[in-house]
Amino acid sequence: MATFGTLSDRLTETLRNLRTKGKLTAADVDGTVREIRRALLDADVALPVVKEFTAKVRERALGDEVNRALNPAQQVVQIVNDELVGILGGQQRRLQMAKTAPTVIMLAGLQGSGKTTFAGKLAKMLEKDGHTPLLVACDLQRPNAVNQLQVVAERAGAAVYAPEPGNGIGDPVRVARDGVEVARRQQHDVVIIDTAGRLGVDAELMKQASDIRRATDPDEVLFVIDAMIGQDAVNTAKAFQDGVDFTGVVLSKLDGDARGGAALSVASVTGRPIIFASTGEGLEDVEPFHPDRMASRILDLGDILTLIEQAQQAFDEAEAMKVAEKLATEQFTLEDFLEQMQQLKKMGSMKKMLGMLPGMGSMKQQLEDFDEREIDRTEAIIRSMTPGERRNPKVLNGSRRLRIARGSGMTVTDVNQLVQRFDQAAKMMKTVARGGVPSIPGMGPVPGSGRPGASSKRGKQPKAKGSRSGNPAKRAAENAGIAATTTPTGSGFGLGGAGQPSAEDLAELQRMLGKG
C-alpha cells in the first residue's frame, strides 16, 4: 500500500533495529527517537508536532512500562503506535447528521485538492446507507467545474442542482441557498455543496466560502486537502480555519507514494478530526478514517478490521452459507468458483486488500507486480465452458479443452492450469469451511496436518481456534485477524517474522486466481 509509503518505510526500518535488543538502554532509546524525528521531518510532518510526538515517545520509552516489559522492543512499537494514533486524532469521528433534514455538508479547499471528485464519492457512500443526497454546483469559477460535477453525479447515480453554467457566470452564494431549498422541497435528506477553490489562499476565496457558510448554515464543513502538497498543508489548513473554519478534514490522494506527512499534522495543528480518506480515482475509493487503523498501516502492522468490513459488505450471507455447505460436502463446482470470484472483485483491488495484511510493506514490488487481470482471464475460461463442464470438470477431454481455449482467447495450457488450480482451491476452501487454516505453499503447514514442518509431537493436537462464521470470506479474514493477534507477524521489529507472506506466497495466490 502506498499510503505514506516513505514514512512507513523509515519508521519500520528504525523500529526493526530494536528487534535484537533484549534490554533497552537510554542510548538505544535516544538513537531510536532521533531516527523517528528524522523520518517525521523528512516526511514533512510539522515541527511542533514532531517535537511533541518524539518527547512523548522518549518519556514513555524510558519509563517503567518498557523496563518491566518481557519484550522491550515490542513495547516501544506499541508506544509509537499509540502516539501516532494521538496525532491522527485519537478516536474516529463520524459525520454529524442534522436532526431535521436536510443535512447540509459544505466542501472547502484549494483548487485541485479533489473536492468535486470527493463530492461524488461521498454521495455514493451516503446512498449506500439509504440517504438521498443532492449535489449543488457552487464552483462557478473554474472552467468546466459545473460540467465535471454533473458527470461525477451521473456516475454516482445522484441528483445535482446546477442552475448556472459557471465559467465565471453566476452567484455561488445564491445557488447554495437555493440548492438547500430545492433539497427541502424535493425531500433530499443530504445536501453536498461543492465550492470554488483557488491555486492559493486569497481574500476573495475566503470571503466567498464564508458567505456560503453564513447563507446555508451547514452541519458539516469538510476541508479537503491533497495529502501530497507538503508543508503547505499546515499553512493552508490554518488559513481556512481562520477564514472559514471547518468541522472536519478529508485527506485526498492517499494512493500516491508521497511523503504526505504534513497531512498527518492537520489534526494536531487545527484540532479538527480527519473524517474521510480518499485512496484512488474510483468513486468507491474512499473510506471513513480510523486513526488506529491508519497508524497500524503506517507501522506495517496491517488493517485486518477494514479487510473484514469489506468482506462483509461484498459477500451475501445467505449465498455464502450455501457455498459453505457445498464445500463441506465436496459439491463445490466451477460455477460456484466463478460466483465467489465475482464477489471477491466487489471488494475492490486485490493489491489494496493484500496491502492490509501485516508485514506486506516490505513486499511492495511483489504487490506492484501482482496482475489483477488474471481474475478476468480465469472468468473468461470458465464462461467458455458449458454448464455441464463447469459442474463436472472431469469430463474435460482434449477436444473440449481446445474449444474452451479458443473461445476464451487463451491456450490449452491455461485451461489445464485452471483446472489444476481449481482442485487445489476447492481443497483449501473446504478446509476453511470446516474451521481450519489451509496450508499454502511457502506459508507453512496446517497445524497437525502431518506434512513436513508440522509438529513432530505424537498424540492429540490442540484444537485450533477460529471463526465460526458461515461466510467463507468473512471467516478467512477473521481467522487471519486471529492469527495476526496470536502469532508473530512479519513486521520485523520485535514482533517476529514467521507469519510474513513470502514472494512465493504471492506468486501462489496469483496462480490460484489466474494464469501462473
435 annotated ligand-binding residue: no
Domain-embedded: residue 451: no
Q: Looking at 73-77, 200-204, 436-440, which range is the least confident one? A: 436-440
Q: What's 64's domain CATH number?
A: 1.20.120.140
Residues 71 and 183 in one domain: no
Indicate if the pLDDT at residue 5 is higher than 90. Answer: no
* 497 and 399 together in one domain: yes
102 vs 233, which has greater pLDDT?
A: 102
The answer to whether 474 is annotated as binding is no
Burial class of residue 423 (count of CB atoms within 10 Å of its CB; 0-12, 13-18, 19+) = exposed
pLDDT number for residue 494: 33
Which of 288, 317, 337 is the endpoint of a domain? 288
More confident residue, 258 or 390: 390
**11 and 159 inside one domain:** no
Please give the average per-residue pLDDT across 383-402, as a whole number: 89
110 in a known ligand binding site: yes
Residue that wins the pLDDT comparison between 376 and 469: 376
Residue 109 annotated as lining a ligand binding site = yes
Annotated binding residue at 255? Answer: yes
More confident: 31 or 308 = 31
Q: What is the C-alpha to C-alpha distance for residues 303 and 312, in angstroms, rounded to an integer?
A: 15
Report the relative pairing of strands 274-278 and 159-161 from DSSP bridges.
unpaired
**How far is Cα 287 from Cα 172, in angstroms, rounded to an integer?**
29
Same structural domain for residues 127 and 233? yes
Q: Which three three-digit cell numbers place residue 15?
A: 523500529
Nearest of 179, 201, 176, 175 to residue 188 by alpha carbon: 179
Is 116 marked within a binding site? yes
pLDDT band for position 436 (50/70/90)?
low
Q: What is the DSSP string of 396-426?
A: --HHHHHHHHHHHT--HHHHHHHHHHHHHHH
Q: Does 124 carry a binding-site annotation?
A: no
Q: How many residues does the chain have?
A: 516
Q: Which three cell numbers stand for residue 127?
A: 446512498
Task: Tell me if 18 is assigned to a ligand binding site.
Answer: no
Domain count, the chain: 3
What is the overall mean pLDDT for the chain? 75
The reply to whether 431 sits in an annotated binding site is no
Give the pLDDT score at 117.
Answer: 92
254 among annotated binding-site residues? yes
pLDDT category at 502 given cuts 50, 70, 90 is low
376 is known to lie in a ligand binding site: no
Sheet of strand 220-226: strand arrangement? 159-161, 133-138, 190-195, 103-108, 220-226, 248-252, 274-278, 286-288
| CATH number reported for the structural domain that contains residue 125 in this entry | 3.40.50.300
Please tell me whether 197 is known to bind a ligand.
yes
Query: Which pLDDT score, from 0 to 100, does residue 498 have?
Result: 37
Mean pLDDT of 355-377: 61
Out of 87, 111, 141, a domain closes at 87
Of the residues 58, 87, 116, the one at which a domain ends = 87
What pTM was estimated for this model as a whole?
A: 0.60
Instruction: Confirm whether residue 378 is marked as ligand binding.
Output: no
196 is in an annotated binding site: yes
Domain that holds residue 250: 103-288
CA 373, CA 428: separation in Å to the nearest integer? 22
Q: Was 354 annotated as part of a binding site? A: no
* pLDDT tens digits, 487-496: 333 333 333 3
Tens-digit pLDDT profile for residues 260-308: 666 678 888 888 999 998 877 888 888 888 888 877 777 766 544 555 5
Q: What is the mean pLDDT of residues 81-96?
A: 86
